[in-house]
C-alpha cells in the first residue's frame, strides 16, 4: 500500500528513488506518486495535514506564502483529478441559493485566490467563489515575511498589505474563466484605496473596477475592513458605507452586493457602531454582509520572534466567537439581509452553528490546515445534523428559521 496510516514522509520520498538509470522513468514515478498524494489530500483532511502540507512546507523552506503559491500551481496542474472527484463534492440536499444560482453552501473567502489564478479548478470543488481582493494598481504589499502560522491553534497572522497583480491581470483571468458555461457564482472582493485623506480616489478606483469586471461576475463584495491597510479606516463611517453601496448598485444593478465586515468586541458601543455601518450599507441598496474579517492584534501577540510589523490580522479558530456574535446581531437586526459566514469554520459543528443565522459559508484559513477534504467532512456532518433535527434538505432548514 503506497500510503500507510502513519503517513511516513521519508518513506514516501524513498519510493521516488527508483533504481533505474533512466531519469525519465524516475520522473514518471515521482509524478505518479504526486498525483496519488494530490488526490488523497483532496479527499482526506488528515492525509492533507499529515503528508501533503508537510511536504509543501519542506519544498517551500517554511515560507507560508510560497506554500500558497505551490498549492495554486498544483490545482491548475491536476485539473483532471479535480474533475474526477468533483461529483463527490456536490450534495444536492445541501444546495442553497447564492446570487440566484442553486449551489453548495461552501465558498472560498477572499485571499485564497487573490488574483484569480485558480478559478476553474476551485469552481469544481466549491459552490461559489470570492477571489480577490481586486485593486486597480499592481501592488507589492509589505515586505516578506509578512505571514506567521500558529500550528497548535490553526491560526494565521498576516500583514500582507493588499498585495495584488492588479485589475488588468485579474480581468484577464476572469475572461478565461467563462462564467456563462461554468455557472459557479463569482463574487469578487473589491476595494478602491484612499490616498491619505482623499476619499475620492477610493470611489474612482471602485468605479473603474466595477465597470471592468461587471460582464464576468454575479456580484461583488466590498472590502473596507482589511486591518493591514490603515487608509481604509476613513471609509468606515455610515455616510461612506451608504455612498459605497449606492455606487456599487448603480453600476451592477440587480447583481449581488455585500460588504465584508470586521469583528468587534463584546461591548455595546462597538456593537452599536457596527450595526450602524451595516444599516447604512443596506440603506444604500446593498443586499447583505459577510461576517467577519480578520482581527487586528499587536506585535507582542504574534507567535514570531522575527515579526517586523507593529500588528497583524489574526484569523482561524480565534474568530469563531466574533463570527457568531456578528452573525446573530446582524440577523436579529436585519432579518432579510443575505449573510455569508466566515471565520474559523473548520468543522461540521462550526458550520451548523454559523447556519443558525447565515445563508452560506466560506473559508480560507481552515482549508490551509485541513485541505479541501474539509468540505466533505462538513457536508457529511451537516447532513447528519439535518436528519437529527427532522429536515430533509438544508434549504428546508434555512426556511424554517424565525428571527
**CATH number of the domain encompassing residue 222:** 3.20.20.70
Residue 26 class from Cβ within 10 Å (0-12 exposed, 13-18 middle, 19+ buried)? middle
Separation between Cα atoms, residue 74 and residue 34, nearest integer Å: 10
- Examine residue 83 and state whether it is found in any structural domain, yes or no: no
Domain carrying residue 30: 1-77
Q: Tell me if 72 sits within 8 A of 113, measured CB to CB.
A: yes
- Same structural domain for residues 329 and 236? yes
Q: Rounded to whole angstroms, how far apart are CA atoms 196 and 377?
A: 45
Residue 15: pLDDT above 60? Answer: no
**Burial (Cβ within 10 Å: 0-12, 13-18, ≥19) of residue 251:** middle
Virtual torsion, Cα 212, 216, 222, 227, nearest 10 deg: -90
> Is the pLDDT at 26 greater than 90, yes or no?
no
Same domain, 113 and 49: no
Cβ atoms of residues 374 and 154 within 8 Å: no
- Cα–Cα distance between 383 and 371 in angstroms, integer? 20
Beta bridge partners of 290: 260, 340
> What is the mean predicted confidence (pLDDT) over 280-303?
97
Range with lowest mean pLDDT among 31-40, 81-90, 120-129, 232-241: 31-40
pLDDT confidence of residue 325: 98
Average pLDDT, the chain: 92
What percent of the chain lies above the pLDDT cut of 70? Answer: 91
Q: What is the pLDDT of residues 166-221, one digit of tens each?
A: 999 999 999 998 656 677 999 999 999 998 778 999 999 999 999 999 999 999 99
pLDDT band at 5 (very low <50, low <70, confident <90, very high): very low
Quickly state the pLDDT bin for 229 (edges 50, 70, 90). Answer: confident
Look at the alpha carbons of 261, 264, 268, 273 in this order and tell me if their dihedral is positive or negative: negative
Inter-residue contact 152 to 194 (CB < 8 Å): no
pLDDT greater than 90 at residue 315: yes
In the prediction, which pLDDT does 73 show? Answer: 96
**pLDDT at 42 exceeding the cut of 60:** yes
* Same structural domain, 92 and 73: no
* Number of domains making up the chain: 2
Indicate the residue among 25, 50, 77 that finishes a domain: 77
Whether the predicted pLDDT of 20 surpasses 60: no
| C-alpha cell belonging to residue 136 | 486597480
pLDDT digits (tens, 9 = 90+) for 293-302: 999 999 999 9
Shared domain for 7 and 150, answered yes or no, is: no
Amino acid at each position: 500500500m503506497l500510503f500507510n496510516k502513519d503517513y511516513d514522509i521519508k518513506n514516501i520520498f524513498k519510493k521516488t528513488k527508483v533504481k533505474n538509470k533512466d531519469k525519465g522513468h524516475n520522473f514518471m514515478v515521482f509524478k505518479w506518486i504526486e498525483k496519488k498524494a494530490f488526490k488523497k489530500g483532496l479527499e482526506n483532511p488528515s492525509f492533507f495535514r499529515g503528508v501533503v502540507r508537510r511536504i509543501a512546507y519542506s519544498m517551500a523552506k517554511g515560507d507560508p506564502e510560497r506554500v500558497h503559491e505551490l498549492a495554486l500551481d498544483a490545482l491548475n496542474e491536476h485539473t483532471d483529478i479535480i474533475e474526477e472527484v468533483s461529483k463527490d463534492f456536490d450534495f444536492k440536499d445541501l444546495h442553497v441559493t447564492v446570487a440566484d444560482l442553486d449551489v453548495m453552501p461552501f465558498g472560498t473567502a477572499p485571499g485564497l485566490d487573490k488574483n484569480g489564478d485558480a478559478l476553474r479548478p476551485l469552481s469544481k470543488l466549491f459552490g461559489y467563489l470570492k477571489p480577490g481582493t481586486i485593486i486597480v494598481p499592481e501592488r507589492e504589499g509589505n515586505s516578506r515575511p509578512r505571514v506567521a502560522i500558529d500550528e497548535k491553534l490553526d491560526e494565521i497572522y498576516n500583514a500582507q498589505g493588499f498585495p495584488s497583480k492588479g485589475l488588468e491581470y485579474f480581468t484577464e483571468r476572469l475572461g478565461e474563466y467563462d462564467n456563462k458555461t461554468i455557472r459557479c457564482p463569482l463574487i469578487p472582493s473589491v476595494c478602491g484605496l484612499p490616498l491619505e485623506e482623499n476619499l475620492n480616489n477610493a470611489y474612482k478606483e471602485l468605479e473603474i473596477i466595477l465597470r471592468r469586471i461587471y460582464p464576468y461576475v454575479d456580484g461583488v463584495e466590498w472590502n473596507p475592513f482589511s486591518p493591514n491597510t490603515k487608509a481604509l479606516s476613513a471609509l468606515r463611517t455610515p455616510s461612506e458605507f451608504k455612498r459605497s453601496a449606492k455606487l456599487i448598485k448603480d453600476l451592477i444593478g440587480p447583481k449581488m452586493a455585500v460588504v465584508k465586515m470586521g469583528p468587534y468586541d463584546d461591548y455595546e458601543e462597538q456593537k452599536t457602531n457596527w450595526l450602524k455601518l451595516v444599516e447604512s450599507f443596506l440603506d444604500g441598496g446593498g443586499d447583505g454582509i459577510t461576517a467577519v474579517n480578520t482581527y487586528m492584534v499587536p506585535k507582542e501577540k504574534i507567535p514570531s520572534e522575527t515579526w517586523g510589523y507593529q500588528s497583524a490580522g489574526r484569523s482561524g479558530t480565534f474568530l469563531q466567537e466574533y463570527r457568531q456574535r456578528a452573525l446573530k446581531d446582524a440577523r436579529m437586526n436585519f432579518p432579510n439581509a443575505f449573510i455569508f459566514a466566515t471565520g474559523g469554520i473548520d468543522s461540521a459543528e462550526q458550520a451548523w452553528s454559523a447556519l443558525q443565522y447565515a445563508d452560506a459559508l466560506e473559508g480560507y484559513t481552515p482549508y490551509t490546515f485541513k485541505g479541501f477534504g474539509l468540505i466533505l467532512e462538513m457536508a457529511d456532518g451537516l447532513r447528519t445534523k439535518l436528519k437529527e433535527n427532522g429536515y430533509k434538505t438544508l434549504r428546508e432548514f434555512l426556511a424554517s428559521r424565525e428571527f
